[in-house]
Structure 1
Amino acid sequence: MDVRRITINVAGRVYPLNVPAAEEETLRKVGKQIEAMIKDFELNFDVRDKQDALAMCALKLGTNAEVSAKANEKNINASNDRLMKINQLLEDLEK
């Protein structure tokens, strides 16, 4: 596995990471998104320090992840239902 050493800047701190090459672009993108979110929170809300901005980022990202997970679960369940109906139709045709 190709592992790369990269640095990500979050909230004014530099974090060295060893990451699989396939994940490097994603980590850099997420790092930039977090930085943008921090700036947005600092500009638009009464944020006292970076800790508050990071906590707000964590809440927003966690909420987004949970909403996506629920939507994915709903889509999977709907797809399973459709596949079971199709399977039943095929079984009925074989009879």
Structure 2
Amino acid sequence: MEVRRITITIAGRNYPLNVPAAEEETLRRVGKQIEGMIKDFERNFDVRDKQDALAMCALKLGTNAEVSQVTNEKNMNAANERLTQINQILEALEK
């Protein structure tokens, strides 16, 4: 596995990272997303410093992740229920 050394800048600070080459693009995209969120929070809210903006980013990203997880679980449950129904229909046809 190839590892690359990259630097991600968030809130004016540089973070050197050793990352698998396959994850580099994702990390850079997320870093830019966080930077954009910080700028949005600074523009639209009474943000006193970068720490406040970072805390708001963490809350928003955590909320988004939780909502996605709940949605995925609901979708998986619905799919499993539908597959169970289909299986029952197929079993009834075999009899």
- Give the TM-score category using the shorter length: over 0.9
Aligned position for 1:90:
90
Unpaired runs of at least 5, structure 2 = none
Counterparts of 1:26-41 in structure 2, within 5 Å, are: 26-41=26-41
Query: What TM-score comes out, normalization by structure 2 length?
Result: 0.97
Instruction: Write out per-residue CA displacement over residues 24-63 of structure 1, whole angstroms, 9 at most, x where no aligned residue.
Output: 1000000000000000111111101000000000000001
Measure the CA separation in 2 of the matches of 1:85 and 1:2.
46
Structure 1 unaligned spans of 5+: none
Instruction: Give the 3-state SS of the residue equivalent to 2:61 in structure 1.
Output: helix
Identity of aligned residues (%): 82
Which residue pairs with 2:74 in the alignment? 74
- What's the TM-score, normalizing by structure 1? 0.97
CA distance in 1, matches of 2:31, 2:57: 11
Equivalenced residues, count: 95
Q: After the TM superposition, which residues 31-70 of structure 1 pair with which residues of structure 2 at under 5 Å, given as runs?
A: 31-70=31-70
TM-fit CA distance, 1:93:
1.1
The root-mean-square deviation of aligned C-alpha atoms, in Å, is 0.6
4+ residue runs over 6 A deviation: none
